[in-house]
């Protein structure tokens, strides 16, 4: 029964997230996505499986898929007791355009992302942590 609740709880956040990102600034959304307590009944493996399932659906939004995936997994992995940090970075692509990407870090390494992502993007925001990066955005 707890797996079914987790499955649909993740769906709820996938569906509500576009509205929050449209109406609120990123620091407020991150505060809303930060769980207040650890739920020992949530298995990190199930969180990853269900989270990747729901966020892989191409629900039309005005923001990147990686941001939705990072925010949803951030929420539920932290609730499962996994200390992840959400990272937002930018790079100039081959066409000279600014490209953004978000990913999770765990134990100082990219989590569920290729290891080189941290080298290819300049980190501009990290939550929680690294307040020197976030001071201009709050």
Per-residue model confidence as pLDDT tens digits over 91-116 = 998 899 998 899 999 998 899 888 88
Structure tokens at 40: 């020992």
64-84 confidence digits (pLDDT tens) = 788 999 999 999 999 999 999
Q: What is the pLDDT of residue 138?
A: 41
Q: In the beta sheet, which residues pair with residue 73?
A: none
Cβ count near 135 (within 10 Å) = 8
DSSP 40: T
Q: What is the pLDDT of residue 135?
A: 47
Instruction: Examine the pLDDT at 117 and tell me if it is beyond 50.
Output: yes
Q: 């996994």: which residue's tokens?
A: 82
8-66 confidence digits (pLDDT tens) = 999 999 989 989 989 999 999 999 999 999 998 899 999 999 999 998 877 665 567 88
Half-sphere exposure of 55 (CA within 13 A, CB side): 24
115 within 8 A of 103, measured Cβ to Cβ: no
């Amino acid at each position: 029964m707890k797996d079914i609740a987790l499955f649909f709880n993740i769906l709820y956040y996938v569906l509500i997230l576009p509205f929050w990102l449209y109406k609120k600034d990123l620091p407020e959304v991150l505060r809303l996505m930060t769980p207040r307590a650890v739920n020992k009944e949530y298995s990190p493996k199930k969180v990853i499986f269900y989270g990747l399932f729901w966020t892989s659906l191409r629900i039309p939004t005005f923001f990147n898929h990686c941001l939705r995936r990072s925010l949803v997994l951030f929420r539920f992995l932290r609730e499962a007791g996994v200390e992840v940090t959400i990272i937002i970075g930018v790079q100039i692509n081959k066409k000279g355009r600014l490209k953004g990407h978000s990913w999770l870090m765990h134990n100082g390494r990219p989590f569920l992302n290729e290891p080189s992502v941290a080298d290819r993007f300049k980190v501009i925001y990290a939550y929680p942590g690294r307040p020197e990066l976030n001071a201009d955005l709050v």
